[in-house]
Amino acid sequence: MIKSTIMLCAEGIVRDTESNNISVFNILEQFTSEGFPLFIQKFYVFNYLERELADPSQIDCQVIITNNNAELASVPIHIDFLDKLRNRAIVTVNGLAILNPGRLTARMMLNGVELGSYKIDVVSSRPPEIIPEHQ
Amino acid sequence: MNTDLKNIINRELNIHILKEIYIFSNTPMYLYKNFRKDLGIQLLANKYSFADLIDFFENTILKERLELDEIVCIYAIIIALTYIEYYKTAFFFEKLDTYNFKWAKELKYIIMSFAKSTEIIKKKIEPRITIKEEPA
């Protein structure tokens, strides 16, 4: 069975060609903004996938990004494990507008089944409105 | 194990070049990269089964005293095994650090770090702009 053992979103992900290792910088946990929509210029969605030998070596997945219930992006990914049992899939998302406070969720889907997900809180920092008392 | 395998392997490999690389290697990554470039080592992976190569490795490593040629052969076998489908050799590499030779642990981690495929996808999300017309 194909599994996503690590899924996360971060500001930066790089692969060292010398060692083939992945480095992740600034894992996203929360967005805070005074106003919405909030524009995110660039972020990365990382998935570490594992398969068993009986599983196919090539699969077509989708990364779906939602803000609360609204779908913001759906990214098709063709994953080729080659002769390996593990794969790292890195999706660079350029230009995402988060419409409302609440939650941003990235889901890794395979044939309608969720392999993994990552949730980021989206917080409005707008101070509470002060309603003047009527005299 | 095929009894002639040792002689065959020695014949396939250009042991002088490999010895030079081995002696010159100051890091396991240097050894790994330069041994992988060697055509003789690539031929080993094509000509022999992984079972034969592992058998040869295990019979050689158990010796009390190893000659330089044998040490170089051990490294050559390990690198040759990296050309074979990983799922066949994973069990061998996962226990590589249990064998007693220099850079066993380091080579294990180098090989295992390359035993993953990577997909890099870029997605540009076009902004959805809604223009509201003001009533005249």
For the cut 60, the answer to whether the pLDDT of residue B3 exceeds it is no
The lowest-confidence range among A6-20, A45-59, B1-15 is B1-15
Q: What is the pTM of this model?
A: 0.79
Give the H or E element holding residue B119.
strand B117-124
CB nearest to B113's CB, from A19, A82, A95: A19
Positions of E strands within chain A: 3-15, 22-27, 30-33, 38-50, 58-67, 70-80, 86-98, 102-110, 113-124
pLDDT on residue B1: 46
Beta partners for residue A64, in sequence order? A74, A107
| Chain A, nearest residue to B33 by Cα | A18
Average pLDDT of the residues in B32-56: 91
| Reported ipTM | 0.73
Contact A84 B122 (CB under 8 A): no
- Mean pLDDT for all residues in chain A: 91
Distance, in Å, from the CA atom of A18 to the CA atom of B14, rounded to the nearest integer, reads 26
Q: Are A103 and A121 in contact (CB under 8 A)?
A: yes
The lowest-confidence range among A4-18, A121-135, B54-68 is A121-135
The C-alpha angle A113, A117, A122, rounded to 5 degrees, equals 135
Average pLDDT of the residues in B110-130: 81
The pLDDT > 70 percentage for chain A reads 99
Residue A34, amino acid: E
| Chain B, nearest residue to A17 by Cα | B114
The pLDDT tens digits for B9-35 are 777 888 899 999 999 999 999 999 999
Give the H or E element holding residue B118.
strand B117-124
Contact A87 B117 (CB under 8 A): yes
CB nearest to A96's CB, from B87, B119, B125: B125
DSSP string, A12-31: EEEE-TTT--EEEEEE--EE
The pLDDT tens digits for A76-135 are 999 999 888 999 999 999 989 998 999 999 999 999 999 999 999 999 887 777 788 775
Write out the residues of chain A at the interface with chain B, using a CB-CB cutoff of 8 A: 15, 18-22, 53, 72-73, 75, 77-97
Cα dist from A99 to A64, B71, B85, whole Å: 16, 62, 46
Distance, in Å, from the CA atom of B107 to the CA atom of B42, rounded to the nearest integer, reads 17
* Binding-face residues of B in 36-55 toward A, CB within 8 A: none
pLDDT on residue B79: 95
Question: Is B129 touching A (CB cutoff 8 A)?
Answer: no
The pLDDT tens digits for B70-107 are 899 999 999 999 999 988 899 999 999 999 889 999 99
Size of interface A-B (CB pairs under 8 A): 78
The number of residues making up chain B comes to 136
